[in-house]
Amino acid sequence: MAHSHTRPDTIGIRDRVSGAKVGLSLVKSISAIFSHTASRVPWHSHNQFELLFVMDGATVYEFQDRDSIELAGGHFMVVPPGVMHRGEQDLRMPTTLIGIVLALDARGATRNTPFTIRDLGWLRRHFKTNSLTVHPLGQDLRQTIAQLDRKLSSKKRNDDELSAADLRIDVCSAISGAARQLSAVDSRDSQFIVNAAIDYMRAHLNKPLSVGKLVTHIGYGRSRFFELFRASTGMTPNDYLQRLRLEAARGLLSETSRPVTEIAFEVGFNSSQYFSTVFLQYTGLTPSGFRSRGVGSES
């Protein structure tokens, strides 16, 4: 992504308040970031989950050993603990966002919140499951974030105890709203995600498609994607892909006289030897044996 040569701000944080200052042990810090020009965001990590809610603009985050992620207005992302990240090339592009660094394991984390210890476990699971993927801000969550932004910029927050209480309510609402939205994504979109993966597999059978490339295309966390896929199909994505390839190969072997090597490449295998090995493993027959028997299905 091309960057403006505008001289960046040193940090670009307009307002920041610690959780301790407003009586929230659950939260390490809440930051409101607003800049018309690029701002520096060098490599860093947090000991706890970080929630990034983008209201306007767009920026790209880089991660060590992971693909970069573009985060645009109206979307949010969860960065898991210990993951090194930065703005692309050390810069955050002009963006308006709210960042909340959590402290779910802090002593007294439930104090002044509506959450129980069990609730914190629920939050942790959903944030972990949906880390490093981009999610749209629903209308209610977006309104909560906008309200939180206004209260962070209010000069009354340091002088008015009720204002601090209001801020605590909004922060807790943002946290629970994000987790609830992620939970809804889990239940509503799991079959959609699996179906999209299968469609992508079918469309790319004639190419050496890796599961890593499939996960990147789907844009979902690898471990969670594997979990959803196995729950829906009873197979790993790689096993399902092999079966799709073999299904296509059986059709070609039965309906055409094309050479086995040509069919192997047509359905995505990189050699006829490996194709024959996998075909034998799954069907109990070699490709030639399958064709000579004139069998249209597994024996």
Mind spelling out the 3-state secondary structure of the chain? Answer: CCCCCCCCECCCEEEEEECHHHCCCCEEEEEEEECCCCEECCCECCCCCEEEEEEEEEEEEEECCEEEEEEECCEEEEECCCCCEEEHHHEECCEEEEEEEECCCCCCCCCCCCCCHHHHHHHHHHHHHCCCCCEECCHHHHHHHHHHHHHHHCHHHHCCHHHHHHHHHHHHHHHHHHHHHHHHHHHHHHHHHHHHHHHHHHHCCCCCCCHHHHHHHHCCCHHHHHHHHHHHHCCCHHHHHHHHHHHHHHHHHHHCCCCHHHHHHHCCCCCHHHHHHHHHHHHCCCHHHHHHHCCCCCC
Question: What are the chain's domains?
Answer: 13-185 (2.60.120.10), 204-299 (1.10.10.60)
Q: Which two tokens stand for residue 145?
A: 């974030």
Single-letter amino acid code for the residue at 160: D
Which residue in the block uniquely carries the two structure tokens 């898991």? 80
* Res 38: pLDDT: 65
pLDDT at 70: 84
List per-residue pLDDT tens for the chain, 299 residues long: 333 333 334 445 568 899 999 999 999 999 998 766 666 788 999 999 999 999 988 888 899 888 888 888 888 999 999 999 988 777 777 788 999 999 999 999 999 999 999 999 999 988 988 888 888 888 889 999 999 988 887 755 455 677 889 999 999 999 999 998 887 655 556 777 888 889 989 988 887 778 788 887 777 777 778 877 887 787 889 888 988 999 999 999 999 999 999 999 999 998 999 999 999 988 888 999 999 886 444 33
Please give the distance of CA 52 from its chain centroid, rounded to a whole number: 13
- What is d(CA 268, CA 252) in angstroms, rounded to the nearest whole number? 13
Question: What count of other Cβ atoms lies within 10 Å of the Cβ of residue 244?
Answer: 17
| 120 close to 114: Cβ distance less than 8 angstroms | no
Cβ neighbours for 209, distance < 8 A, ≥ 6 positions apart: 201, 241, 268
pLDDT value at residue 1: 36
